[in-house]
Structure 1
């Protein structure tokens, strides 16, 4: 009854017992602790003069989960005898409440440690993103179990060092440790960011060998990894093969199609979901609205926004309003998008104003863009992206004095522009490029390849779009500046080192600029290469001179 939260009934049964042994007392104390009532648990413990060793451990754990670290420590200090479980519980209490320093101090003072002790301390370091300390502790462990490996993999995923998470999983495999659901889900999350389909396919095989092919949680994580890794066709195969699907599964495939700009396919999956009797939630509608936004389906998007409250009783959240602003703005109704914000029943946040500013950048609306930027400067003055977008709007109109003012404001605020960075994996090695890169070992060959491409593409109709240069310089300098954007460097390197006809997959931290988008369309046509780029906003699949986004991004 206690586990079900039916404490009154549990207490009635407890009080009616003609005889209560220590197991009964501890069960009732545990019920109170598990339901966030450690003081009631303490009163019961006091009634039996503190109970036994397990009683104290249950009580201090209860205080720890309630965030009452001092009370937990008081119980720990009052315990006449402590075993390793009690020590572990106190270390875990500190870890759960973010005090890694005291956790380590107690860990070092332990008279005896088991693998759970090490795992508790390891968890503390990973949750606090102290992965250097976590790795040092991990290397010192006399014994490791699957929990140890899973904590380390998850820790690297948390700080977005996905390559190290994958390396840790491989080490676990070579160490003879069998994969389990938690570490498979974590490593699939890491692989989804690496964008390497070869690695993903090897994990897919491992999942089948380990007997997890029917696990809905792993299946959904696999689906997400294929979706994020440029494999929308492969993700659909995974989805179709799943015997069991929950709301997370449906949402994953809907959101995945949205990211790939396949709005109508996302809607088709939603219709299948409705037919299967699965009720949508707030995340479902974020995916649908996002899909409509990236496919220009304005009227359909409006219908979904209305449906979530009228048909399903769901209250639109800030994310839904942001999608609507993005939907209207991208479609060219910038004034309507601004009015939509003013008509909102809740206070707009930075994401919403940023969506409006992004629309103004696309459609070169200076006046509304300036108003949106001013709102953003007051909400998040340190976000360089907002200043850059406003500068883009000004530069597209040749308003160089205004560009200079924005640059001066950035300097006064101590804001630095985030450099564009693109990366790709070739033969199990990650290669990264920044705009104007001079560090790569083959940079001279890359530059030569770019120059050849540039000459070839201009002969076939490519015209550099110099409005994306934020400096008032002559056209030749602008064209030169554009040529060395990070995604162009990555494309050139891919052409340089991979066999003819082999697809090229690239990831970028920021939204791809219009000139690079046009350049890569020409590259895909001239070289007959399939080029997939996942930028900070969505996927772009370049095929024979066209992009899957339909130039609508």
Structure 2
């Protein structure tokens, strides 16, 4: 079916339309889709680009139904419209077949962006075989296509295949080099990672941090610190990577010294220190870090609850868990395990029932059902110890 063409705008209207389109895109990037839609509806004249901006915004903000309604009502569509559709449908695993169908039925010659959008979806959802097949079928590839496919191999732990693709890349930017470097680190091939690091024609703070983190995660903390000291630039991630290395190695004094030297204390670093102090039985120090934090996430609360639980501050663990629920923080798996462990240790039915009631009120039963078998087994065993019987059936079915 032939689509109606969008009429040309008077030259005096063009700047206003361009500005409005930019505003729609800007509001969408900040998550303000009501504002983006209001801007769109207020436009006396709209171009295909106007529709595309709104379409992409809805997909970006996880509103696929609204995005599809925009696509359906478009008076005219261009290649960018279809690329936005493919990209949006690729965000969710169950709509990937629709994304593939959209790619196959574009009424224009698909571009490298069209193919790469679907490729990214396959990689994102771990469908490596589909990604490989699509990559091989692509009539044209650019450095983004190669980097996405490289990431697919690395995410699957297929480092040798990733290296083969890396060597075939016609052009490699610092992102590709760093991805390959991180891939070696993730599988413990640190010597190869360091060789690659030394061969890099250009490094940035991410590259340096990846190598520091690789050393730290693989137990070579002294080498990590040596490299950390000569970094030309550091950011919060660099400091936190080094901090994690010390904590993982059980060197809490070195971790504390580094933490105190940090120019800022990001959330991840604070959470790590709470964990580290808790592991060493330094509950007061863990609590002090927790109390000084201006921002906390579920990982923060989980860390302090775990610190209390593993050091037998059982009542403090329970009261902190209740406080977390009262302010609307959704418990994660470690915090649930910790509080059930406490209930089992105390062997008190009233506290267990209180936790159970709070969990029901917060509607997390489905959340817990999806956990892996290890954690599910832990929960079941703890529930047996607490002897709740059928009152917690939702947790063990």
Same fold by TM-score greater than 0.5 = yes
**In structure 2, distance between residues paired with 1:170 and 1:435:** 34
C-alpha contact 1:360 1:393 (8 A) present in aligned 2: no
Q: Post-superposition shift, 1:217?
A: 1.0
1:457-490 deviations in Å (ceiling 9; x for gaps): xxxxxxxxx99942546xxxxxxxxxxxxxxxxx
What SS does the corresponding residue of 2:382 show, helix, strand or coil? coil
**In structure 2, distance between residues paired with 1:134 and 1:64:** 24
The residue number in structure 1 matching 2:105 is 140
The residue number in structure 2 matching 1:96 is 57
The equivalences for 1:384-403 within 5 A come to: 384-395=333-344, 397=345, 399=347, 401=349
The residue number in structure 1 matching 2:388 is none
What SS does the corresponding residue of 2:302 show, helix, strand or coil? helix
Aligned residues between the structures: 360
C-alpha contact 1:69 1:94 (8 A) present in aligned 2: no
Q: Post-superposition shift, 1:55?
A: 4.4
Match of 2:81 among 117, 133, 141: 117
**In structure 1, distance between residues paired with 2:295 and 2:314:** 24
What SS does the corresponding residue of 2:262 show, helix, strand or coil? helix
The equivalences for 1:237-248 within 5 A come to: 237-248=195-206
Q: Post-superposition shift, 1:391?
A: 1.7
**Against the structure 1 CA distance between its residues 435 and 262, is the aligned structure 2 distance closer, same or farther, given a 3 Å change threshold?**
farther
**In structure 2, distance between residues paired with 1:107 and 1:55:** 24
The equivalences for 1:355-434 within 5 A come to: 355-378=303-326, 379-395=328-344, 397=345, 399=347, 401=349, 404-405=352-353, 408-409=356-357, 412-413=360-361, 414-416=363-365, 417-418=368-369, 421=372
Give the TM-score of the pair, scaled to structure 2. 0.75
Asked whether 1:354 is paired with 2:302, we answer yes
**In structure 1, distance between residues paired with 2:67 and 2:353:** 50
**In structure 2, distance between residues paired with 1:384 and 1:368:** 19
C-alpha contact 1:50 1:56 (8 A) present in aligned 2: no
C-alpha contact 2:240 2:268 (8 A) present in aligned 1: yes
**Against the structure 1 CA distance between its residues 192 and 105, is the aligned structure 2 distance closer, same or farther, given a 3 Å change threshold?**
same
**In structure 1, distance between residues paired with 2:89 and 2:19:** 25
Q: Which has the higher strand share?
A: 1
Q: Post-superposition shift, 1:355?
A: 1.3
The residue number in structure 1 matching 2:11 is 51
**In structure 1, distance between residues paired with 2:70 and 2:316:** 57
Q: Which runs of 5+ in 2 are unaligned?
A: 1-8, 28-35, 386-397
The residue number in structure 1 matching 2:160 is 201
Q: Post-superposition shift, 1:91?
A: 2.0
**In structure 2, distance between residues paired with 1:255 and 1:305:** 16
**In structure 1, distance between residues paired with 2:297 and 2:86:** 36
Q: Post-superposition shift, 1:329?
A: 1.4
**In structure 2, distance between residues paired with 1:57 and 1:130:** 35
The residue number in structure 1 matching 2:234 is 280
What SS does the corresponding residue of 1:267 show, helix, strand or coil? helix
Q: Post-superposition shift, 1:148?
A: 1.5
C-alpha contact 1:377 1:386 (8 A) present in aligned 2: no
The residue number in structure 2 matching 1:150 is 116
**Against the structure 1 CA distance between its residues 282 and 333, is the aligned structure 2 distance closer, same or farther, given a 3 Å change threshold?**
same
**In structure 1, distance between residues paired with 2:189 and 2:166:** 18
Q: Which has the higher helix share?
A: 2
**In structure 2, distance between residues paired with 1:345 and 1:384:** 22
1:480-501 deviations in Å (ceiling 9; x for gaps): xxxxxxxxxxxxxxxxxxxxxx
**Against the structure 1 CA distance between its residues 110 and 51, is the aligned structure 2 distance closer, same or farther, given a 3 Å change threshold?**
same
C-alpha contact 1:383 1:415 (8 A) present in aligned 2: no
Q: Post-superposition shift, 1:412?
A: 3.4
**Against the structure 1 CA distance between its residues 353 and 66, is the aligned structure 2 distance closer, same or farther, given a 3 Å change threshold?**
closer
- Give the greater-gyration-radius structure (CA): 1
**In structure 2, distance between residues paired with 1:419 and 1:406:** 22
Q: Post-superposition shift, 1:270?
A: 0.8
**Against the structure 1 CA distance between its residues 393 and 269, is the aligned structure 2 distance closer, same or farther, given a 3 Å change threshold?**
farther
Asked whether 1:470 is paired with 2:382, we answer yes
Q: Post-superposition shift, 1:250?
A: 1.4
The residue number in structure 2 matching 1:173 is 135
